[in-house]
Amino acid sequence: NAGVTQTPKFRILKIGQSMTLQCAQDMNHNYMYWYRQDPGMGLKLIYYSVGAGITDKGEVPNGYNVSRSTTEDFPLRLELAAPSQTSVYFCASRDIGDTYEQYFGPGTRLTVT
Amino acid sequence: DAKTTQPTSMDCAEGRAANLPCNHSTISGNEYVYWYRQIHSQGPQYIIHGLKNNETNEMASLIITEDRKSSTLILPHATLRDTAVYYCIVRVRVGFQKLVFGTGTRLLVSP
C-alpha cells in the first residue's frame, strides 16, 4: 500500500491564483481530513469527509473548498490565493473501525506571494 | 474536548529513556489519551493510545496516572531519529475524530 499520497510537494502561487491540492489513499478508509500547519504551530482542521459525497467544515474552512466523489480521493481547492494561506497542508485518512490512528500524507508546502 | 498541557521542549541523551509528560486534568471518563509525533517536515505519526491502563508497543510506553489527570510517554532508548515534536491529544475514541493538535513538546535527542 502507498498509504496517503499528496501532490504536489511544493508550490508557489501568486496572490489571486487558484490551485487544487491532491490527496489520495489506497486503504479504503471512509474518513479523510485536510489540515494546515503554520510555522511553529499545531495542525488545524480545514475540512473533513466521512465518506464519498459527504464533506463538512472544520475549524478554518474559509478560502477553501473540497469534494469527495470517490472513497480514494479528497482534493482541496484554493480559490483566490492569499498570503495568509501560506502553510504546509496535510491530508489524513482513517478507517471507521480503526478508531485510534489517523494516517497522514507527507504534506504540501504552499507559498503565496 | 479536554485540553492538554505539555512542556515546550525537552532534551535527552541518545540511549537514555525519554519521559514526556502531559497534563489533562479535565479529561472525561470516555476520553482516551493519544500520542502522535511529527518528525521535521513530515506528517504526524501515531505512536500509542490508552484509556486508563498502562500501554506498551514497539515504539513506546504510556503511563497514565490513576486519576487520569496526567500521563507520560516513555521512549525507553531514545535515538537521534526520535528527535521530533510530540503531541499529546485527548479525545473520545469512537465516531468522527477531530484531533486537536496543540504545539506539543519538541524533543531533541543528542549524541
pLDDT one digit per residue (tens) for chain A, 113 residues: 789 999 999 999 999 999 999 999 999 999 999 999 998 888 899 999 999 999 999 989 999 999 999 999 999 999 999 999 999 999 999 987 656 688 999 999 999 99
Nearest to B97 among A42, A43, A99 (CB): A99
Q: Which residues of B touch A40 (CB under 8 A)?
A: 103
Inter-chain CB proximity B98 and A45 less than 8 Å = yes
Residue B95 has pLDDT above 70, yes or no: no
Could you say which of B46, B101, B103 has the minimum Cβ distance to residue A101? B46
Name residue B54's amino acid.
N
Question: Is the CB of residue A74 less than 8 Å from the CB of residue A7?
Answer: no
pLDDT at B96: 67
Please report the pLDDT score of residue A98 as a whole number.
Answer: 54
Residues of A in contact with B87 (CB under 8 A): 42
Q: What's the rounded Cα separation, in Å, for the pair A69 and A54?
A: 9
Average pLDDT value for chain B? 91
Q: Which residue has the higher pLDDT, B90 or B63?
A: B63
Count of other CB atoms within 10 angstroms of residue B61: 17
Percentage of residues of chain B with pLDDT beyond 70: 94
Q: How close does chain B come to A18, measured CA to CA in Å?
A: 24
C-alpha cell at A79: 480559490
Chain B contact for A40 (CB, 8 A cutoff): yes
B94 pLDDT band, cuts 50/70/90, is low
Nearest by CB to A102, which of B42, B99, B103?
B99
* Residue A30 · residue A95 · CB < 8 Å: yes
Interface of B with A (CB under 8 A): 32, 34, 41-46, 49, 87, 93-94, 96-104
Segment B32-55, tens digit of pLDDT: 999 999 998 899 999 999 999 899
Band the pLDDT of B3: cuts 50, 70, 90: confident
